[in-house]
Amino acid sequence: MAIGPDTKAVYTIAPTPFEADGRIDWESLGSMVDFYDRCGVDGMTILGIMGEAPKLDAAE
């Protein structure tokens, strides 16, 4: 779903948690998603403005 001028909801900007060696921290990511869900957000933006995209490879 694309966010546009008619979007009416709460979207959080979700950071991507990384391990010390640069891998995605999947356990922390799952915890973060569960937290946002419990808070009642309607959606999350990912790889938007936190600078994670260049740190990920195609498989990630």
Helices (H), the chain: 26-39
Residue 4 has pLDDT above 90, yes or no: no
User: Band of the pLDDT at 49, cuts 50, 70, 90?
Assistant: low
**How many residues does the structure list for the chain?**
60
pLDDT at residue 58 in the model: 79
pLDDT at residue 1 in the model: 63
Q: Please list, in sequence order, all residues whose beta carbon lies within 8 angstroms of the beta carbon of residue 52, skipping any fewer than 6 positions away.
A: 15, 16
Nearest of 8, 14, 59 to residue 33 by alpha carbon: 14
Average pLDDT over the chain reads: 83
Q: What's the pTM value of the predicted model, to 2 decimals? A: 0.66
